[in-house]
Amino acid sequence: MRTYINPNQDTLDALCKRPEIKTADLEADVRDILSLVKSGGDPALRKLVLELDQADIRELKVSPAEIKAAQEQVSPELAAAIQIAAANIEKFHRSQMIAEERVETSPGVFCWRKSVPIEKIGIYIPGGSAPLFSTILMLGIPAQLALCDTIILCTPPDKQGNIHPAILYTANLLRIKNIYKAGGAQAIAAMAYGTETIPRVYKIFGPGNQYVTKAKTLLQLEGLAIDIPAGPSEVLIIADQYADPDFIAADLLSQAEHGADSQVILLSNSSELITQTLQALEQQLESLPRKEIAAAALSNSFALQLDSISACFDFSNNYAPEHLILALEKPEYYAGQIKNAGSVFLGKYACESAGDYASGTNHTLPTNGFARSHSGVSVDSFCKKITFQTINKTGIRHIGPVIETMAEAESLIAHKNAVSIRLKKLNL
């Protein structure tokens, strides 16, 4: 992990750029997969699952018997933890469901907005070295609160054709029954186009590797809605001299173990804090089962010493991190300086892992700088907003002349006439 001390502005700007991922053949490969699934349906999908996941799948849909068997394979401790996390996530996301008021904008003119659920949504859950069953909670719960009619879940099987028990347990807890054995770009294609077995959806959610991300990006160009632009996971920590180096090192590693392409960043005005944290980082790294992955991520990462905490916030807002931790003596004092971040963690005990699993906030967040313009997933992500208006006689008399004047100024006379004809009939 590199260290920079008060670098010039050009270096600071360069540090805000994420590490480049080698994608020479990525787009062509993903386009081939999309085309195969679109034209070939289930047979093509099964062939790709065999080729890419090394699993020979006859039935793409997970059976009720498989779901039932998974319930017995999850330990009571894990089951209880998942249930507690689900309750917290449900409580936080339910608070987002606020009824909007009907507004009288002018006498006799009434406008309002209504949230309408997206009918069919798809959830992608990675199932490789880290089966992300927690993401089912993060996506399934707000989808259910939004009252989406159909929830499709795709996740890759192991080489024996089985789905990780914790994934099936969590899906069953949320009453998600449409679960399919397919991973990677081929799963995204199946949900986007539909196959004989997997229904077509209108919006796709969920993290994944660069193939999954590229598939979602390409399909978005064809009109498919996706959750948010995604890239490798990241965390940025702003710490002062009062922070605990062991805590900070643990938080950096918790994000680094996501993948070799993850990036973790430490900002501080204290050289001593940075030195102590990097020492703790080396010690904690040695005991991690995913040591090689975390170490690779650290090679993409850095510590940055700046003159002030205010300068640290300037850099953070420019970088726009997915996760932002304020390991500061008085974090609430600085919260108003945050302009760009996916999710923020205040204080020494608010570890990023809490947001990943059980505090209640959503862990599906904008990465790669998209926090400058995008929010994380919420109940609203599963809805579309439809506006309504009703205008009575008083209303059209009141705003009619306004509409006529503006329409005529834009040379849209048919627009003007739509009002004029009504006003004439009212005056008869």
Among 21-30, 61-70, 88-97, whose mean pLDDT is lowest? 21-30
What's the whole-number average pLDDT of the chain? 95
Q: Which helix (H) or strand (E) holds 68?
A: helix 64-73
For the cut 90, the answer to whether the pLDDT of residue 357 exceeds it is yes
The string of pLDDT tens digits covering residues 182-234 is 999 999 999 999 999 999 999 999 998 889 999 999 999 999 999 988 888 99
CA distance 13 to 119: 42
Question: Nearest 5 degrees, angle CA 207-CA 208-CA 211?
Answer: 135
Other C-beta atoms lying within 10 Å of the C-beta of residue 11? 11
Q: Note whether 148 and 177 are within 8 A (CB).
A: no
Residue 151: closest CA among 131, 121, 126: 121
Identify residue 237 by its one-letter amino acid code. Answer: I
Q: Given 3.40.50.300, 3.40.718.10, 3.40.50.1980, 3.40.50.1950, which CATH number is that of 26-102+116-226?
A: 3.40.50.1980
Query: Rounded to the nearest 5°, which phi and psi values hold at 10?
Result: -60, -40
> Binning pLDDT at 50, 70 and 90, where does residue 96 land?
very high
The string of pLDDT tens digits covering residues 127-184 is 866 789 999 999 999 999 999 999 999 999 999 999 999 999 999 999 999 999 999 9
Per-residue model confidence (pLDDT) at position 129? 67
Q: Where are the beta strands (DSSP E) in 39-187?
A: 103-106, 109-117, 120-124, 150-155, 179-181
Mean pLDDT of 83-93: 98
Q: What is the pTM of this model?
A: 0.94
Per-residue model confidence (pLDDT) at position 416? 98
For the cut 80, the answer to whether the pLDDT of residue 393 exceeds it is yes
Rounded alpha-carbon distances, angstroms, from residue 206 to 47, 61, 157, 265, 363 = 23, 19, 17, 24, 10
Q: Given 3.10.20.30, 3.40.640.10, 3.40.50.1980, 3.40.190.10, which CATH number is that of 2-21+232-360?
A: 3.40.50.1980
CA distance 93 to 378: 7
Per-residue model confidence (pLDDT) at position 230? 81
Mean pLDDT of 370-380: 96
The string of pLDDT tens digits covering residues 295-343 is 999 999 999 999 999 999 999 999 999 999 999 999 999 999 999 999 9
CA distance 49 to 40: 13
The string of pLDDT tens digits covering residues 33-85 is 999 999 999 999 999 999 998 999 999 999 999 999 999 999 999 999 999 99
| Domain(s) of CATH 3.40.50.1980: residues in the chain | 2-21+232-360, 26-102+116-226
The residues carrying an active-site annotation are 322-323
